[in-house]
Amino acid sequence: MVPAYAVALLIAGILVALSNTAADFLVLPSVVMMLFVVLVVPVYIACAIGMLGLVQLLLGMKENQILNIVLIIGFIAVISVFDGLVTEGVVVMSAPVVGAMFIVGMLLLGVIGFMTRILNREKIVTTLPEG
């Protein structure tokens, strides 16, 4: 999760820098966007990693490949739809929207954490490669 979040922060910084090179005045992100990047982005990165990890521990290799592709395409689709809604002005990035996204992400993370209880620990230990 740490490398993915570091890349997200790097990209956000690059976007701010590029915005400043194109403008004649200082362009800084709003407090709401900073809250989004600091609170919401890491939660959804953790959700994505948690879901992919859970799937990898539950299923076989072929099923993993298929489901991982579906999950990744699903994540990209959700991000694209939300981006389109923000661009068209249907959803305005405000503190309540960021707060709701954070709460939904935390609930999803909790569900993923709860789902790990169905894992068979013996299967996990016996499938680890010997080293």
Whether 114 shows a pLDDT value over 60: the answer reads yes
> Is residue 19 domain-resident?
no
Question: What is the total count of domains within the chain?
Answer: 1
Whether 69 is in a domain gets the answer: yes
pLDDT at position 103 is: 95
Cα torsion through 126, 71, 101, 2, rounded to 10:
50
Does some domain include residue 114? yes
pLDDT at 125: 52
Report if residue 36 sits inside a domain: yes
Give the model's confidence band at 122: pLDDT under 50 very low, under 70 low, under 90 confident, else very high.
Answer: low
Provide the whole-model pTM: 0.72
Is 63 within the bounds of a domain? yes
Query: Does 75 map to a domain?
Result: yes
Give the other-Cβ count within 10 Å of 116's Cβ. Answer: 12
| Full DSSP string of 6-58 | HHHHHHHHHHHHHHHHHSSS-----HHHHHIIIIIHHHHHHHHHHHHHHHHHH
Mean of pLDDT values over 91-115: 88
Task: Tell me whether residue 115 is in a domain.
Answer: yes
79/73: higher pLDDT: 73
Domain that holds residue 103: 30-126
Higher pLDDT: 63 or 105? It is 105
Place of tokens 């068209």: 88
Q: Specify if 17 maps to a domain.
A: no
**Which residues contact residue 75 at a Cβ distance below 8 angstroms, ignoring those fewer than 6 apart?**
48
